[in-house]
Structure 1
Amino acid sequence: MSPHRNPRVLTTALLLVLSAACTGASAGQDAPDRVHGAKPGAAGAGDPLFPKMGNGGYDVTDYRLSLDYTPDSNRLEGTARITARATSALSSFHLDFAGLHIRKATVNGRTAKAERRGTELVLTPAADLPKGRTFSTTVVYDGKPRTIKDPDGSKEGWIETDDGAVGLGEPTGSMAWFPGNHHPSDKARYDITVTVPKGLTAVSGGELKQRETHGRHTTFHWRSQEPMASYLATVAIGDFDIHTTTTDGELPQYVAVDPDQAEDSTKVPDQVTGVIDWESRTFGRYPFSSTGAIVDHLPGLGYALETQTKPYFADAPDEILLVHELAHQWFGNSVTPRAWKDMWLNEGFATYAEWLWEEDHDGRTAEQTFRDFYDGTDDESGGIWDFAPADPPNAAAVSDPPVYGRGAMVLHKLRQAVGDKTFFTILRTWVKEHRHGNADTKQFIALSERISGKDLTKLYDVWLFGKDKPAKP
């Protein structure tokens, strides 16, 4: 015979157990899915020129983007799968993302709360993220992507062309077509799959891993194994003639040319090969596993862009423009500035590559070009004294003439001060030591002084940081 149990006694005992459990939790035990000290990640990376770009609290390692684009309606459907590591304990975090509708968001496979705050997408995961933890985020979205106007008035973001579209990202445009940590200091690998109507081609950075037609659509799968800043990512969709070959150094080369530009672009594939081989001899080993170019038909865009492994041109480029944009694969793409104020490390170096190319191909010497810039007789010399190249006054000035022309003049003065052998050792060491990383002006100055053994303070104070035109060249 079993003993008799009093219901009131059992109920009282159960309440006592629950009360003790609650007391224990309030005495210091974390509630389920909470992490001690977790707090929201920062809404920006702290960039002086673009304070709202980028985010704090995590570092992205991989983007996997699956895109489906319909040109007739300019409709984009996307799924972004982001792998990142928490650099602090996070209760929520931000992604840069402008426009487009959020259909679903998850963190580590669990539904996350998604909130739009202007160009910020704030995700609150079901469980806090401990510091050091690798986590995955998936965002499903769709709609008509935006074209964004830069602070300087130019267009970027998602731009429609006469037969498709292109995604351009410098400096803020990538947030128009995929969510991410859109600051140059957070580089990551990219895997991009794009589905388009049959007959069109989707071109992106890295290598084409697969092309598959299914019914009325074709899917292109691109992969970039080397780290990339988000402003260098691109997708160009349209009717393209494709030219595949290898450089003299046996580097795979993929050049896509819009048929409207074909007649003026017949030399482009060979020119890409020649420029890459010359720049490899000049600056050191090419930093990526493939190269190429995209020649589109986008009248009025007004600029070319050094999108990683395949620079984007809105129309047929001349050879010197190829030299400039391909030089960025070393200076800007492989070695990327920590902040936008260091843009002269991109543009000054790519501009000086033009001077070196001309000098090495029976044109003006770099010294003659330098003097033409100083005297104001070069076509590109207007406005170079407006501010110090290492100190753009605002976001609108980040691509202004001092960053390009006067940035190149700084390098020429360095070359004069240390001699050719030491100068080119400095350049090659710079791209070798910071390969696929981020670096800043202070580090370049320190490197140049270490290798040359000279105190170069006066040179940099006058030519890099000085606000006025030097009295003597």
Structure 2
Amino acid sequence: MLLTPRVRLKSALLASAVSVCLVAASAPAVPLGVGDRLFPHLGNPGYDVASYDLSFTYPGTNSKPLQAVTTINAWTTTALERINLDFAHGKVDSVEVDGEPAAFTGAGDDLVVTPEDSLTPGSWMRITVRHTSDPVSTADRDGGWVRTADGLAMANQADAAHLVFPCNDHPSDKAMFTIRITAPNDYTAVANGLPAGVERVGDATTWTYRTQHPMATELAQVSVGRSTVVHREGPHALPVRDVVPTKDRELLEPWLKKTPDQIAWMEGKVGPYPFETYGVLMAEASTGFELETQTLSLFERDLFTEPGYPKWYVESIMVHELAHQWFGDSVSPRTWSDLWLNEGHATWYEALYAEEKAGRTLEARMKAAYGASDRWRAAGGPPAQPKAPDPGQKISIFRPNVYDGAALVLYALREKIGRPAFQHLERAWVHNHRDSTASTADFQSLAEEISGRGLSGFFEDWLYAEKTPPMPGHPDWKSVAPTAGKGPKATPQAAPHAGPHTAPHAVPKAPPAAK
């Protein structure tokens, strides 16, 4: 953290995406970061967030900014004269630190706050930011709010939560959330966690939700729309609530009722569901992806209503986002280079579900993935060392190398250490790191401990090499090298999931008879 002399609030207008009401400190404020290889300016050193309290007021249209208040409770981990927050798409009206007005300015995608008094290590601080939250994307920024046919939803993965609210926008700093949404009475608002109150005053209703487990900022979810919340019970009396357009309630019920059995199936593979509730949010929007926001996964409505998608495929995509509740949400990546642990595992259980429920064999899918793996590595990097995003070309880190390419690593590991050890590893992984973050090194260490084998060479080759290593037990499998001047080609078996910022539903549509 850069330490500079503290200053008093002064009026100084700066041309910044953060605010038109910014003030300058005595020395230039600079954007900081926690040093993530893929997103070097995300997150901020010097403090550890304990909780967020987010309040949004929806104006009745999704084309105007929401009025918002973000309150952050955190511990300082070093002496701070300035506090950097990630925030880049709204107007800041005021900032307080521990109830006292504080100076603030913008630097890159950071909101830089200078409190009246500097903070000592181990201090408890409360930062309150009054701001707007703009749902209208700029020409060069995607993500954050998603405008639906009747309101809004959120899609913050990987680097977009700070387009919605000020935060420490990196999965390594998970926190508890309280979310309040005020909207006209004819709207329904839903967010992560469990309901904590509904208050109607005049023509507006305020809905409050709280998480019971820590959450990464990229997993925050808020839905505002003309929606119906459908309640049912999952395994062990788990509250399951789905959010659907009211007009489509009956149409979507055949899909909604599948969730409890899918949860039970996942519990049979890796152990108890890790959160206080689950459900699906079916949004009438064109996003190009589905997204595993914590306790409330976001899906495009058209995935369930548009003819042509095989039933087994749709169900396996539902399981993919459900699996993320264990892999990625409860156990979050320490850095974004650990993304393969999220997407590889979700793809693994998606494929395993398709094998068990629809006869789409895992081995056939992995063999096809192996054939494409060298091309994927050339285009996107090895699974645990993905290439950095290219915002100018709208290229993200969510490419096949971290989906089927990473599931292929898990398949190779199962072949290497045997099924009993692999199944033990999967359960131990989500149990040992529940509600926390974990890294690739942690996964390797646990795999070695459970299998009783040294695996450093295996993981080095499979996770970081430019070329795909030989598949244990399948010496006949071949990977086709990339052709100069040509990009990787997807195959139906090996590109089944549409992750954030990727093309939707990368499976050819089947004729209706195939459903």
Q: TM-score scaled to structure 1, two decimals?
A: 0.86
Q: 1:121 Cα deviation (Å)?
A: 0.4
The corresponding residue for 1:403 is 402
Q: 1:122 Cα deviation (Å)?
A: 0.5
- Deviations along 1:435-462, one digit per CA (max 9) or x if unpaired, are 1111110110111011000122333233
RMSD: 2.4
Please list every run of at least 4 consecutive aligned residues from structure 1 whose deviation after the TM superposition is greater than 3 angstroms: 143-146, 148-151, 259-264, 380-386, 469-473
Q: 1:146 Cα deviation (Å)?
A: 4.3
Residue 126 of structure 2 is aligned to residue 133 of structure 1: no
Q: 1:8-157, aligned counterparts within 5 Å?
A: 43-72=32-61, 73-142=63-132, 144-147=134-137, 155-157=142-144
- Classify the secondary structure of the residue corresponding to 1:116: strand
The corresponding residue for 1:223 is 210
- Which amino acid in structure 2 is aligned with residue 182 of structure 1? D
- Deviations along 1:164-213, one digit per CA (max 9) or x if unpaired, are 11222111211122101001110000000000111111111001111222
Conserved 8 A contact 1:147-1:176: no
The corresponding residue for 2:457 is 458
Conserved 8 A contact 1:205-1:224: yes
The corresponding residue for 1:36 is none
- Which amino acid in structure 1 is aligned with residue 397 of structure 2? V
Comparing 110-119 with 406-415, greater Cα deviation is found at: 110-119
Q: 1:277 Cα deviation (Å)?
A: 1.1
- Which amino acid in structure 2 is aligned with residue 171 of structure 1? A
Pick closer, same or farther for the CA change 1:319–1:41 going to 2, 3 Å. Answer: same
Q: Distance in 2 between matches of 1:149 and 1:330?
A: 34
Q: Which structure has the larger Rg over C-alpha atoms? A: 1
Q: 1:296 Cα deviation (Å)?
A: 0.7
Q: 1:264 Cα deviation (Å)?
A: 4.8
- Classify the secondary structure of the residue corresponding to 1:249: helix
Q: Distance in 1 between matches of 2:375 and 2:198?
A: 46
Pick closer, same or farther for the CA change 1:305–1:362 going to 2, 3 Å. Answer: closer
Comparing 185-194 with 171-180, greater Cα deviation is found at: 171-180
Residue 342 of structure 2 is aligned to residue 349 of structure 1: no
Pick closer, same or farther for the CA change 1:143–1:349 going to 2, 3 Å. Answer: closer
- Deviations along 1:105-124, one digit per CA (max 9) or x if unpaired, are 11011111011223210000
Conserved 8 A contact 1:381-1:405: no
Q: TM-score scaled to structure 2, two decimals?
A: 0.79
- Deviations along 1:229-286, one digit per CA (max 9) or x if unpaired, are 0000011111112111110321011100124554652223222111111111111111
The corresponding residue for 1:304 is 290
Conserved 8 A contact 1:294-1:310: yes
Residue 385 of structure 2 is aligned to residue 391 of structure 1: yes
- Classify the secondary structure of the residue corresponding to 1:348: helix
Pick closer, same or farther for the CA change 1:214–1:131 going to 2, 3 Å. Answer: same
- Deviations along 1:59-83, one digit per CA (max 9) or x if unpaired, are 1000011110113252301111110
The corresponding residue for 1:18 is none
Q: 1:383 Cα deviation (Å)?
A: 3.5
Q: Distance in 2 between matches of 1:281 and 1:243?
A: 25
Q: Distance in 2 between matches of 1:172 and 1:369?
A: 30
Residue 437 of structure 2 is aligned to residue 443 of structure 1: no
- Which amino acid in structure 2 is aligned with residue 391 of structure 1? Q
- Which amino acid in structure 1 is aligned with residue 128 of structure 2? T
Residue 433 of structure 2 is aligned to residue 434 of structure 1: yes
Conserved 8 A contact 1:338-1:438: yes
Number of residue equivalences: 432
The corresponding residue for 1:8 is none
Comparing 159-168 with 404-413, greater Cα deviation is found at: 159-168
Q: Distance in 1 between matches of 2:438 and 2:166?
A: 24
- Deviations along 1:410-432, one digit per CA (max 9) or x if unpaired, are 10111111121111110111111
The corresponding residue for 2:179 is 192
Pick closer, same or farther for the CA change 1:84–1:143 going to 2, 3 Å. Answer: closer
Give the gaps of 5 or more residues in structure 1. Answer: 1-29, 34-39
Q: Distance in 1 between matches of 2:139 and 2:439?
A: 27
The corresponding residue for 1:365 is 361
Q: Distance in 1 between matches of 2:435 and 2:43?
A: 19
Conserved 8 A contact 2:31-2:41: no
Comparing 255-264 with 414-423, greater Cα deviation is found at: 255-264
Q: Distance in 1 between matches of 2:422 and 2:266?
A: 15
Q: Distance in 2 between matches of 1:183 and 1:91?
A: 22
- Classify the secondary structure of the residue corresponding to 1:43: coil
Percent sequence identity over aligned pairs: 36
Q: Distance in 2 between matches of 1:149 and 1:278?
A: 42
Q: 1:145-224, aligned counterparts within 5 Å?
A: 145-147=135-137, 155-224=142-211
Pick closer, same or farther for the CA change 1:181–1:367 going to 2, 3 Å. Answer: same
Pick closer, same or farther for the CA change 1:92–1:41 going to 2, 3 Å. Answer: farther
Conserved 8 A contact 1:202-1:236: yes
Conserved 8 A contact 1:115-1:121: yes
Pick closer, same or farther for the CA change 1:147–1:219 going to 2, 3 Å. Answer: same
Pick closer, same or farther for the CA change 1:325–1:143 going to 2, 3 Å. Answer: closer
- Classify the secondary structure of the residue corresponding to 2:237: coil
- Which amino acid in structure 1 is aligned with residue 291 of structure 2? L
Q: Distance in 1 between matches of 2:377 and 2:188?
A: 40
Point out the structure with the larger strand share: 1
Q: Distance in 2 between matches of 1:264 and 1:351?
A: 27
Q: Distance in 2 between matches of 1:371 and 1:59?
A: 44
Q: Distance in 2 between matches of 1:81 and 1:298?
A: 30
2:258 to 260, 271, 274: 271
- Which amino acid in structure 2 is aligned with residue 112 of structure 1? A
- Classify the secondary structure of the residue corresponding to 2:368: helix
Conserved 8 A contact 1:104-1:141: yes
Q: 1:97 Cα deviation (Å)?
A: 0.7
Q: 1:381 Cα deviation (Å)?
A: 11
Conserved 8 A contact 1:74-1:160: no
Conserved 8 A contact 1:148-1:158: no
Conserved 8 A contact 2:51-2:177: yes
